[in-house]
Chains A and B, each alone.
Chain A
Amino acid sequence: MHDTLRKDQESLLKEWIALQAKTSGRRMSAIEEKQLETHCGEFLAILQQATQDGGDDISKSEWTGARDFLAQLSAARARAGFTPVETAMFIFSLKEPLFSRMRQEAGDARTLTDSIWKATILLDRLGLFTTEVFQKTREEVIARQQQELLELSTPVVRLWDNVLALPLIGTLDSARTQVVMQNLLEAIVQTRSDIAVIDITGVPTVDTLVAQHLLKTVAAARLMGADCIISGIRPQIAQTIIHLGVNLEDVTTKATLADAFAVALKRTGYAVTRVKNSSGNAS
């Protein structure tokens, strides 16, 4: 394989690039084309170097350069949204131009089969390697997005001096509760709030676990010196809570966020008064 790579480098490179452009499901921009040319050129050079010794164990040190290059390429493609196939095709599309040249150069059928066999094993290993890296990178992206989603979906809002609101939307599982508690407690520290209103209008079901998570959150806030009011208790939720025997005695509950806010204001010493409309009508 090394010889073939060396001899026909130029034309091999051209054909390889063209093949990738053709099989890729998308139209490549000029920049992408240029990038592809650079990548392919670089990789062919690396491949030439690595195949010098004729080995096919890609975990060996001669292949470190190739592995690093492919790892980088694969990770970049995973992050950029390429499909796994597109990424693996970087390697696999090299087979066609490579083998057609090997066929032309080969003396007898025996040597031809041999070299093609070796080459295909090698390229398969490299291809699988790129797929592995691709997978791992994708998993990292997903994990990070999950975390971001978790944090974004639990905003803590400052309703007024000393009053925070935590509108919960969606289910409250164990992982989410950790994020909720962290966000809430941090907000309590920063805003020095005395009251947090936890609104559960957007929580579809409240079972024993969800109730436990809520109570944990209330307890944690209390340790930071803030009292909680739970609002948004729908009629069905009220029934479920009683049937489950959940003890909400220490916690103030209100049906609506508005009611809870009113109580919070009162407790923190504020009163809301209506001011006479002095701006008048359009005359």
Chain B
Amino acid sequence: MERIPILKMGEFLLVTIQVDMHDRLALTLQDDLTEQIVKWHAHGVLIDISALEMVDSFIGRMLSNIANMARLLDAQTVVVGMQPSVAITLVELGMPMKGIRTALDVEKGMQTLRIYLDSNGYTQDGNGSAEI
């Protein structure tokens, strides 16, 4: 079964969504991600949607769910790489995307996560995972 790959990038997890997602794939992603967050004690998740040419309310809700689940597991989520036409459409659609941080790309996304974690008392230990 196809799954969306989750990469460990230093202290963060990186999810790159490249395919047109259908329901089962989205649910599998949620399962996999929550597992990985716990496994690696990750405190930050980056979701790269730069390959998505469309984000509808289903995908928006999925991103929201992921961010909320991650937060319960003490991890912050940043969605990166939204295409301009997608952003304009989302705004017109009226999708609030509340509680989801966004950044221009992976690099800025990591900066954002770093700044948030630093200012909230998380520090990096030698293993590359953050402990409070």
Contact present between A and B (CB < 8 A)? yes
Chain A residue numbers with a CB within 8 Å of B112 are 225
A246 to chain B, nearest CB (A): 16
Beta-carbon nearest neighbor of B80 in chain A: A225
Chain A residue numbers with a CB within 8 Å of B104 are 188-189, 192, 224-226
Chain B residue numbers with a CB within 8 Å of A182 are 84, 88
Chain B residue numbers with a CB within 8 Å of A225 are 80, 102-104, 108-109, 112
Q: Which parts of B91-132 form the interface with A (CB within 8 Å)? A: 91-92, 97, 102-105, 108-109, 112
* A185 adjacent to B88 (CB under 8 Å): yes
B45 at the interface (CB under 8 A from A): no
* A216 adjacent to B102 (CB under 8 Å): no
B77 to chain A, nearest CB (A): 14
- Set A188, A216, A223: member contacting B97, Cβ < 8 A: A223
The number of residue pairs between A and B whose CB atoms lie closer than 8 Å in the complex comes to: 45
Bound complex: CA A15 to CA B95 (Å) = 70
- Set B82, B92, B103, B109: member contacting A216, Cβ < 8 A: B92
Bound complex: CA A222 to CA B103 (Å) = 8
B26 at the interface (CB under 8 A from A): no
Bound complex: CA A194 to CA B105 (Å) = 12
Bound complex: CA A220 to CA B88 (Å) = 6
Q: Which parts of A182-201 form the interface with B (CB within 8 Å)? A: 182, 185-186, 188-189, 192, 194
Bound complex: CA A154 to CA B94 (Å) = 24
Chain B residue numbers with a CB within 8 Å of A223 are 82, 87, 90-91, 97, 102
* A178 adjacent to B88 (CB under 8 Å): yes
Contact with B along A163-196 (1 / 0, CB 8 A): 0000000000000001001100110110010100
* A181 adjacent to B88 (CB under 8 Å): yes
* A224 adjacent to B87 (CB under 8 Å): yes
Given contacts A186-B84, A189-B84, A225-B103, are A220 and B91 in contact (CB under 8 A)?
Answer: yes
* A185 adjacent to B84 (CB under 8 Å): yes
* B92 adjacent to A224 (CB under 8 Å): no
A219 at the interface (CB under 8 A from B): yes
Q: Which parts of B23-76 form the interface with A (CB within 8 Å)? A: none
* B84 adjacent to A219 (CB under 8 Å): no
Beta-carbon nearest neighbor of B82 in chain A: A223
Which of B84, B105, B109, B112 gathers most chain A CB within 10 Å? B84
Bound complex: CA A186 to CA B87 (Å) = 11
Bound complex: CA A105 to CA B90 (Å) = 74
B24 to chain A, nearest CB (A): 27
- Set A178, A192, A224: member contacting B82, Cβ < 8 A: A224
B73 to chain A, nearest CB (A): 24
Contact with B along A194-230 (1 / 0, CB 8 A): 1000000000000000000000100110111110000
Q: Which A residues lie at the B interface, using CB under 8 A?
A: 178, 181-182, 185-186, 188-189, 192, 194, 216, 219-220, 222-226
Pull 20 A–B residue pairs with CB atoms less than 8 Å apart, ordered by A.
A178-B88, A181-B91, A185-B84, A185-B88, A189-B84, A189-B104, A216-B91, A220-B87, A220-B91, A222-B102, A223-B87, A223-B97, A224-B82, A224-B84, A224-B102, A225-B80, A225-B102, A225-B103, A225-B104, A225-B112
Q: Which B residues lie at the A interface, using CB under 8 A?
A: 80, 82, 84, 87-88, 90-92, 97, 102-105, 108-109, 112
The 9 closest A-B pairs by CB, nearest first: A185-B84, A225-B103, A223-B87, A225-B104, A220-B91, A220-B87, A219-B91, A216-B91, A181-B88
- Beyond A178-B88, A223-B90, 16 additional contacts (C-beta under 8 Å) are A182-B88, A185-B84, A185-B88, A188-B104, A189-B84, A189-B104, A192-B104, A194-B108, A216-B92, A220-B87, A223-B82, A223-B91, A224-B87, A225-B80, A225-B102, A225-B103
